[in-house]
Chain A
């Protein structure tokens, strides 16, 4: 009983102990905030990395792709195991390309990735239709121009005349000229959906209070020329297209690279009818992915196809996030270890200060174990109080992090969280109860661990020497 009483009294009367509490508190609060923000970022990032990719991707090794996608999809659909797991499938054709357009009479060229899709089934797989800017396309994605786009197209075309500046001359004149493009409808080019970042740039000189600093370089209805390679010989092919909509996933890698067009049109352009480069599969339950991947590998063992989950495909980035988080956690736990050394030092001082009291308690019959318990209990109490306060503060900061950021930015004039870098409109946070628990247990554990040594010293004190101590 005296142990509890003394722990409690020491906690309330030793101001040095407050220092221990504050150091544990700050460590815990920092860990919780950083973990929550990192967790928020990685969750958001994962969402976006997943974004365009379906749960499982069946992919050819090169740009030539593979033939007969429908029969492969039928094979999957008829497989007893897979048919229960697969929710939706779609075939896509992906190829690099160059996109050209004029903005304020200046020609621009951008390297892009063209993705040929079949809109309806692509929507079913997910991660596509919801990112289209034109709300009309959310329910029923299509490559057709809406009214205003068509109007703009007609006006622009009329004012510019028929001729559109084509691709510049190839620098090497000795090479044979590129073959003629496949015939396309002369007056109504195919609509394409371009990535938002291809069609916009951020005006860094814009006034700070302007909510949207994006300058639009391509409007729906504007014409673009896309040049890519065709067939096995990789000879250049190009065609005119008209922008129908934007794709805005807020994942800059996608938004600045991807251009979507109907898969059959891309197949014709590249003269590779019936060939696709991947089949995207959406699962009913992503937890079953390893089983599905194994079965698909078995099913297509002889085909030159790679089967991967989206996580395996994004493995490098995901691993980087994991490593980053792990290292950060180790570093931050060092903060708490520093707090631990503080506890060690302060406890050693307290033990010295309390030497006589320890002698008294021993003279009155307290055992070594009892003295040990007092000081370890004291450390535990400091850890608990510190961790408890730290958790409260940490959670509070995490919840209000955006207000705090705004406040600090307004005081210092420094943009702490540049939104255009991350494409997030606010700092994402994700409070993970498990990690809060681990942080708490860890810091309390460290507090106890570092109080063991002084506690042992206290318990080993010889009563007579302790009593004589002045």
Chain B
């Protein structure tokens, strides 16, 4: 049965230690992502949502607990296998874009493919990779800024570049860590719109960490982290696939009083 589940985590615990002080961040998180889902993880600062994403994205290892991805336990893999997983199966988008400042936008997009191939094999497939990077840049609407350095791009453009970079490896799962956190409202909405398109049209599974509930509401499902726990355990959530964005969000920005039962049960 586990083999059919896309990704799930059980009893994830993580404590950061600095000298004698230890800070428990995750205190036993259970969660699941279905293939094709657009999941958002919300929570206050310090609730552990970024840590959860790092664990799921195999950037870090949990102290306790297991993470399974496509029928395989991935939290205890060797460094090489985790590197491979991150390069081939996962894509990452960060709040601060995290583009390499020395490289042009196009080169930044190609980096994951470069990491995959040796200099020698790059001779053979470099032009193909470049073509794909150009296609992706055009797809995210940056066909005209490919040879600019990151510092010459606006925040939204940088985030689009980062999305193109995350997509170039054809990932099955996209991690977005506060993708709109550094952008103004309109630009942020555009970015989320782009992510949703990717989810709907290209069927990319997305886990998005955000503290912006308005943006989270546009996704299929919301997990709320409070002090290292999922407030409403994933198992108890109703099936909410196909959830469309309800009307009236603009008129009702108050998040303390969600408009319907689904939301309340989803942990809001």
Tell me the count of chain A residues lying within 8 A, CB to CB, of chain B: 26
A5 contacts B98, C-beta separation under 8 Å: no
A1 contacts B122, C-beta separation under 8 Å: yes
Question: How close is B182's CB to chain A, nearest CB, in angstroms?
Answer: 13
In the complex, the chain B residue whose C-beta lies closest to that of A356 is B98
If A1-B126, A464-B59, A467-B94 touch, whether A366 touches B102 (CB-CB below 8 Å) is no
Interface segment out of the listed B36-44, B112-120, B132-140, B252-260: B112-120
In the complex, the chain A residue whose C-beta lies closest to that of B175 is A363
Interface string of A3-17 (1 = CB under 8 A from B): 111100110010000
B59 contacts A360, C-beta separation under 8 Å: no
The answer to whether A386 has its CB under 8 Å from any CB of chain B is no
> CB-CB < 8 A to A10: which residues of B?
102
B114 contacts A2, C-beta separation under 8 Å: yes
A6 contacts B119, C-beta separation under 8 Å: no
Most buried by A among B98, B122, B165: B98
> CB-CB < 8 A to B88: which residues of A?
365
Question: How close is A333's CB to chain B, nearest CB, in angstroms?
Answer: 33
Q: Complex Cα distance A389/B40, Å?
A: 56
Q: Complex Cα distance A6/B85, Å?
A: 22
> CB-CB < 8 A to B54: which residues of A?
464
Question: How close is B112's CB to chain A, nearest CB, in angstroms?
Answer: 5
> CB-CB < 8 A to B86: which residues of A?
363-365
> CB-CB < 8 A to B98: which residues of A?
356, 359-360, 363, 467
Q: Complex Cα distance A6/B110, Å?
A: 12
If A10-B102, A368-B79 touch, whether A363 touches B92 (CB-CB below 8 Å) is yes
The answer to whether A357 has its CB under 8 Å from any CB of chain B is yes
If A361-B111, A366-B115 touch, whether A6 touches B92 (CB-CB below 8 Å) is no
In the complex, the chain B residue whose C-beta lies closest to that of A470 is B96
Contact of A1 among B84, B92, B119, B169 (CB under 8 A): B119
In the complex, the chain B residue whose C-beta lies closest to that of A368 is B79
The answer to whether A463 has its CB under 8 Å from any CB of chain B is yes
B138-197 interface with A by 8 A CB criterion: 165, 169
The answer to whether A78 has its CB under 8 Å from any CB of chain B is no
The answer to whether A84 has its CB under 8 Å from any CB of chain B is no
The answer to whether B83 has its CB under 8 Å from any CB of chain A is yes
Q: Complex Cα distance A467/B60, Å?
A: 12
In the complex, the chain B residue whose C-beta lies closest to that of A463 is B59
Interface string of A361-404 (1 = CB under 8 A from B): 11111111010000000000000000000000000000000000
A365 contacts B112, C-beta separation under 8 Å: yes
Tell me the count of chain B residues lying within 8 A, CB to CB, of chain A: 34
Question: How close is A1's CB to chain B, nearest CB, in angstroms?
Answer: 4
> CB-CB < 8 A to A464: which residues of B?
54, 59-60
A366 contacts B83, C-beta separation under 8 Å: yes
Q: Interface residues of A: mostly helix, strand, loop or mixed?
A: helix
> CB-CB < 8 A to B102: which residues of A?
6, 9-10, 13
Most buried by B among A5, A356, A365, A368: A365
The answer to whether B107 has its CB under 8 Å from any CB of chain A is yes
Question: How close is A18's CB to chain B, nearest CB, in angstroms?
Answer: 15
A365 contacts B103, C-beta separation under 8 Å: no
B59 contacts A364, C-beta separation under 8 Å: no
Question: How close is A467's CB to chain B, nearest CB, in angstroms?
Answer: 7
Q: Complex Cα distance A195/B101, Å?
A: 74
Interface string of B64-78 (1 = CB under 8 A from A): 000000000000000
Question: How close is B54's CB to chain A, nearest CB, in angstroms?
Answer: 5
Interface string of A432-470 (1 = CB under 8 A from B): 000000000000000000000000000000111001000
In the complex, the chain B residue whose C-beta lies closest to that of A468 is B50
Q: Complex Cα distance A463/B85, Å?
A: 14
Q: Complex Cα distance A6/B114, Å?
A: 11
A357 contacts B100, C-beta separation under 8 Å: yes
In the complex, the chain A residue whose C-beta lies closest to that of B177 is A467
The answer to whether B205 has its CB under 8 Å from any CB of chain A is no
Most buried by A among B54, B121, B169: B54
The answer to whether B239 has its CB under 8 Å from any CB of chain A is no
If A9-B102, A13-B102, A463-B59 touch, whether A364 touches B119 (CB-CB below 8 Å) is no
The answer to whether B80 has its CB under 8 Å from any CB of chain A is yes
Q: Complex Cα distance A13/B103, Å?
A: 10
The answer to whether B13 has its CB under 8 Å from any CB of chain A is no
Q: Complex Cα distance A27/B241, Å?
A: 68
Question: How close is A349's CB to chain B, nearest CB, in angstroms?
Answer: 16
Most buried by B among A2, A359, A370: A2
If A363-B59, A367-B79, A464-B60 touch, whether A5 touches B87 (CB-CB below 8 Å) is no
- Could you list 27 A-B pairs, sorted by A, with CB under 8 Å? A1-B119, A2-B115, A5-B107, A6-B100, A9-B103, A356-B98, A359-B98, A360-B98, A361-B115, A362-B59, A363-B57, A364-B111, A364-B112, A364-B115, A365-B84, A365-B85, A365-B86, A365-B87, A366-B87, A366-B115, A367-B79, A367-B80, A367-B83, A370-B115, A464-B54, A467-B59, A467-B98
Name A residues whose Cβ lies closer than 8 Å to a Cβ of B.
1-6, 9-10, 13, 356-357, 359-368, 370, 462-464, 467
Beyond A1-B114, A364-B111, 10 additional contacts (C-beta under 8 Å) are: A1-B122, A2-B115, A363-B57, A363-B98, A364-B92, A365-B87, A367-B83, A370-B115, A462-B60, A464-B59
